[in-house]
Amino acid sequence: MKANYSEQDIQQIVAAQRLFFRTGETLPVEWRKKQLKKLKAAVIEHADEFAAALAEDLGRSEVEAYLCDVGPIIVEINEMLSGLRRWARPERHFSGLMCFPSLITKVYKMPYGVTLVISPFNFPILLTIGVVAAAMSGGNTVVVKSSSKSAACTAVLKRFFAGLFPPEYITLIDGGHDVADMCLAQRFDKIFYTGSPEVGKHVLAEAARNLTPVALELGGETGNWCVIRKDADLRDAARKIAFFKLTNAGQICININQVAVAEEVLEPFLEELKQAFLRQIGEHAELNPEYPKLITEAAYDKCAKLAMQYSDRIVFGGVGNSATRKFAPTIICPVDISEHIVMHELFCPLLPVVPYKDAEVDQLMEVIADREHPLALYLFTKDMRWANRVMQTQQFGGGCINEVCIHMMVKGVPFNGTGHSGMGAYHGEWGFREFTHPQTVLKGSRWFNLSLREHPYSGEAGKTKLRLLKLFER
């Protein structure tokens, strides 16, 4: 496969996949399970190769590579293998009196067909193979457009898929934005995009040309909030926040973008957070080989420039190494809730801290609710009544109370966003649902058909029909 593609090349790839899909080979559940088992075995076999590529692109350690990319893929595929037969089973429904003499209606879970998966740079292995597995579980073929920013992972993935599946079933296309646009110009049956809200708008607009259904997993325009109440366990909260902000150097769609901390506990919380960073990564994170790096020089420069703008309010960190693209975790405090830094997604290790009065926490939540819906929300408090009320009234993708990030690792639950943080959902059965269309089929009868629905609708016959309709439909 050539590294550079023409529009004709991509048309031919899509046409070959459409032809293969029309053979019906992807439909049997046992065939799908066989392919998923093959995928799982290959992921385990290539784990070291994936880890090396993640280290080259993002500076990930072997442990972090397995924790965040390889391990979750294996768990995800295991869930698909155990549940797929049940998920794919047609639903049986009683047709109802209005449909007599029909008794049975079935809902078939049909694959969309030829799908396009556009994967991001921040978790290039997990968010490529994991989404491809969901599409496979639904019985689809897949064209993958992987990120040009994570070049080492893209090269590994291209070899991985090419050695595992025929291109008419799964194929990976590399290249930049021009290649992505050539892909979007094709008529796919489903598109799944993970990335920024701005590019998500572009994907949605291009998909609209062919009325292609789209799933979007986005980071959220104004970022994910973490709220620390005055009754929170500050040491526990700091420990978890530090871990999360260190992971992938903050380049995570569900990461904490900013922390709102009750003024009553601001100073002790800041001290706990500093100590948590020091315990986990040391005094010079930018020199630590375990600490990940920012994906490109442009990403590093953007982070460093923003930190410089707030240099007078940096209370921890604020230093970086441009040669290795590592920028230390950086606490910026105090920051007003209306400042620019907390009005957009940062996607880096900067952590603005917004003080507020604990008695005014509900006003804080109103301000957050007025902004674009985040992908995640995190609360630290002992007041479970308040926390539960907030979680059931705010709009966001998913979140945690007294915890961070691991809600997305729970089996059987969806991972999704809403509004500027996305649409659709996946993981386990939700991924299967995202890549299948529920198709309703009623089985009729040649016998005992009533004339209730047929003309005439006037006279005595019409009056009788109306009485029966009101009886059946009340």
Question: Beta 376-380 vs 314-316: how paired, if at all?
Answer: unpaired
Question: Beta 398-401 vs 320-321: how paired, if at all?
Answer: unpaired
Same domain? 332 vs 389: yes
Residue span of the structural domain in which 24 resides: 7-219+423-437
Same domain? 292 vs 343: yes
Same domain? 190 vs 134: yes
**Which three-class secondary structure state does DSSP give residue 230?**
coil
List helix spans (H) across 408-450: 429-434
Domain assignment of residue 323, yes or no: yes
Which pairs with CB-CB distance under 8 Å and at least 24 residues apart come from 318-321? 319/284, 319/286, 320/286, 321/286, 321/287
- Of 183, 253, 303, 333, which is the active-site residue? 253
Domain assignment of residue 1, yes or no: no
- Tell me what the mean pLDDT of segment 39-60 comes to: 98
Six token digits for residue 464: 């009788």
pTM of the model: 0.95
Same domain? 198 vs 246: no
Same domain? 247 vs 320: yes
Question: Beta 330-332 vs 350-356: how paired, if at all?
Answer: parallel
Measured between alpha carbons, how far is 127 from 193 in angstroms, rounded to an integer? Answer: 10
Identify the H or E element spanning 368. helix 361-370
Same domain? 232 vs 202: no
**Which three-class secondary structure state does DSSP give residue 198?**
helix
Same domain? 161 vs 240: no
Domains held by the chain: number: 3
CATH number for 361: 3.40.309.10
Question: Are 333 and 240 a contacting pair, CB within 8 Å?
Answer: no
**Which three-class secondary structure state does DSSP give residue 73?**
helix
Query: What are the DSSP E strand ranges found in 365-444?
Result: 376-380, 398-401, 415-416, 422-423, 425-426, 436-442
**pLDDT confidence bin for 1, thresholds 50/70/90:** very low
What pLDDT score was predicted for residue 2? 45
Residue pLDDT, tens place only, 385-437 = 999 999 999 999 999 999 999 999 999 999 989 999 999 999 999 999 999 99
- Of 76, 206, 217, 372, which is the active-site residue? 217
What pLDDT score was predicted for residue 118? 98
Same domain? 176 vs 135: yes
Residue pLDDT, tens place only, 439-470 = 999 999 988 887 888 899 999 999 998 998 88
What pLDDT score was predicted for residue 185? 97
Residue pLDDT, tens place only, 219-238 = 888 999 999 999 999 999 99
Active site residue 217: yes
Residue pLDDT, tens place only, 116-136 = 999 999 999 999 999 999 999
Query: What is the DSSP code (8-state) at residue 419?
Result: B
Query: How does 112-144 read in b/e, with b if 16+ C-beta sit within 10 Å?
Result: bbbbbbbbbbbbbbbbbbbbbbbbbbbbbbbbb
Domain assignment of residue 418, yes or no: no
